[in-house]
Amino acid sequence: MATISFDLVSPENLIFNDEVGTIIVPGKDGDLGVLPGHTQVMSSLRPGRVMVYSEDKNLVKSFFVSGGFAEINPEKCIVLAESVVELNSLDKSSIEKEIEELGSKEDKESVEQLSIAKAKLEAVTVSFYDKI
């Protein structure tokens, strides 16, 4: 089976760059599963999980991104994300606390932060496949 090259880039650095089997990216209208030979797509992303699977379908890495863009062509998938954290470094209780703090505020920035935090909580709680 073929592989596809995957770059995960944040403004500060290149976070991930390797040949992988499958990537699942959180497209604005729904998750996109990207396999080698995928058609050319440019999509904006919603806050959510980026899951990276190896060629033999095992989960390699999982990240949370707070939005961004994905550029996909048959050989390459590039995700530009504003903030990227590894999923297993997130702590559920601290996110819940963040949501509580932001919940009462009403300015535009807090509302935005809140929706990101909610997506973060969802990313942590909702189960995912270790193998596909």
Partner 1 sequence: MPSLKDIKTQINSVGSTRKITSAMKMVAASKLRRSQEKAEAARPYSSRLEEMLASLASSAASGEGIIKLLTGTGNDQNYIIVPVSADRGLCGGFNSSINRETFKLVKSLEGNGKNVQIIPLGKKSRDFFNRVMKDQIIESFVDLNISNTGYDSALQVSNKLQELYFEEKFDKCILVFNKFKSAISQEVTKQQLIPLDVSNSSKEENTNNSSAKAIYDYEPDEETILKDLLPKNVSIQIFKVLLESDAGEHGARMAAMDNATRNAGEMIDSLTLKYNRTRQAFITKELIEIISGAESV
Q: Which two tokens stand for residue 24?
A: 């699942």
Q: Which two tokens stand for residue 15?
A: 């976070």
By CB atoms closer than 10 A (0-12, 13-18, 19+), residue 40 is: exposed
Which residue in this structure is represented by tokens 């559920």? Answer: 92
Whole-number minimum distance, CB 130 to partner 1, in Å? 27
Whole-number minimum distance, CB 10 to partner 1, in Å? 7
Identify which of residues 40 and 127 has a Cβ nearer to partner 1 in the complex. Answer: 40
Identify which of residues 7 and 55 has a Cβ nearer to partner 1 in the complex. Answer: 7
Whole-number minimum distance, CB 66 to partner 1, in Å? 12
- How does 101-111 read in b/e, with b if 16+ C-beta sit within 10 Å? ebeeeeeeeee
Secondary structure class of 29 (helix, strand, coil): coil
Identify which of residues 41 and 59 has a Cβ nearer to partner 1 in the complex. Answer: 41
Site residues, partner 1 (CB under 8 A): 7, 9-14, 27-29, 32, 39-44, 67-69, 71, 73, 78, 80, 82
